[in-house]
């Protein structure tokens, strides 16, 4: 919400009526000084806010990196365990299937020899 030109003129007229023209420069200096102080305080608040949020962002990034690292470690561990189980099941299957395959081949050979 800004002040329009008409409002500024009315404020200047009221100040002139209340304090007189000779006090106007002093009042303007005081108001200017006050505005600088307000601006300076606002800038300091912004700076502090930026600094505090920068620390928070840094902390969040560190936590995110840590969680990502932990998830990668767990994923790698699970993947390794799955590969170990898969290799074990594959070996057990091959160990069990080999004698059956040999018997099937022997039976087929016996049948072929009997037919000939």
Closest CA to 21 of 12, 34, 29: 12
Query: Do you know the residue count of the chain?
Result: 116
The yes-or-no verdict on residue 36 having pLDDT over 60 is yes
Q: Please report, for the chain, the start and end positions of each structural domain, with discontinuous segments joined by +.
A: 11-115
Q: Count other C-beta atoms under 10 Å from residue 116's C-beta.
A: 5
Q: pTM for this one?
A: 0.44
What's the rounded mean pLDDT across residues 15-33? 83
Q: What pLDDT was estimated at residue 8? A: 82
Q: What is the mean pLDDT of the chain?
A: 86
Residue 14 pLDDT grade (very low, low, confident, very high; cuts 50, 70, 90)? confident
> Distance between CA 71 and CA 74 in Å, rounded?
5
Our measurement of the distance from residue 84's CA atom to the centroid of its chain's CA atoms, rounded to an integer in Å, reads 35
Q: What pLDDT was estimated at residue 111? A: 81
> Distance between CA 67 and CA 55 in Å, rounded?
18
The yes-or-no verdict on residue 98 having pLDDT over 80 is no
Q: What pLDDT was estimated at residue 115? A: 64
pLDDT in tens, 45-83: 999 888 889 888 899 999 999 999 999 999 999 999 999
Do 24 and 32 meet the contact criterion of CB atoms below 8 Å apart?
no
Q: What pLDDT was estimated at residue 80? A: 95
Exposure on the CB side of residue 48, measured as CA atoms within 13 A: 6
């Amino acid at each position: 919400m800004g002040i329009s030109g008409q409002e500024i003129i009315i404020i200047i007229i009221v100040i002139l009526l209340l304090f007189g023209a000779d006090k106007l420069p002093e009042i303007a200096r005081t108001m200017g000084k006050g505005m600088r102080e307000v601006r300076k305080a606002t800038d300091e608040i912004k700076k502090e806010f930026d600094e505090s949020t920068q620390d928070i962002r840094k902390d969040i990034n560190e936590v995110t990196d840590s969680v990502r690292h932990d998830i990668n470690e767990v994923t790698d561990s699970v993947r390794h365990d799955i590969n170990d189980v898969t290799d074990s099941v594959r070996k057990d299957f091959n160990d069990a299937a080999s004698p059956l395959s040999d018997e099937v081949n022997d039976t087929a050979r016996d049948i072929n020899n009997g037919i000939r």
